Amino acid sequence: DAGVIQSPRHEVTEMGQEVTLRCKPISGHDYLFWYRQTMMRGLELLIYFNNNVPIDDSGMPEDRFSAKMPNASFSTLKIQPSEPRDSAVYFCASTSGAYNEQFFGPGTRLTVL
């Protein structure tokens, strides 16, 4: 079975550019989560969806960040404009009510120069 799929795996961009990260959750999962990993804060929840509806976006750093889930099999996290402090690894995870744990994708390593 395919796990959570994220693309791209690596992204290098210049400050001020728009960045779009993509995620395909595990089929049948109705929860999708976006995290950012940093040394200081560990795994920080940015936003999560249930049945494609955003439930909690209190972790989104600022208006430069936005996330969408147009259907059950696809989500995007967009940063516009990007800044060097956005450099981090971004993870997508999915789950359903049948599980206690979340299932993570391999992550996207973002570098903003």
Which chain residues interact with other proteins by CB under 8 A? 4, 31, 33, 35, 39-45, 48, 50, 55-56, 91, 93, 95, 97, 100-107
| Cα 106 from Cα 34, distance rounded (Å) | 12
Specify the residue, 74 or 104, whose C-beta has the smaller distance to other proteins.
104
CA distance 91 to 25: 11
Using the minimum distance from each CB to other proteins, give the nearer residue, 17 or 46.
Answer: 46
| Residue 111 CB burial class (10 angstroms; 0-12, 13-18, ≥19) | middle
Cβ 24 to other proteins shortest distance, Å: 13
Minimal distance in Å, beta carbon 81 to other proteins?
A: 27
CB of 34 to other proteins, least distance (A): 12
Angle at the Cα of 68 (from 50 to 90), degrees rounded to 5?
A: 90
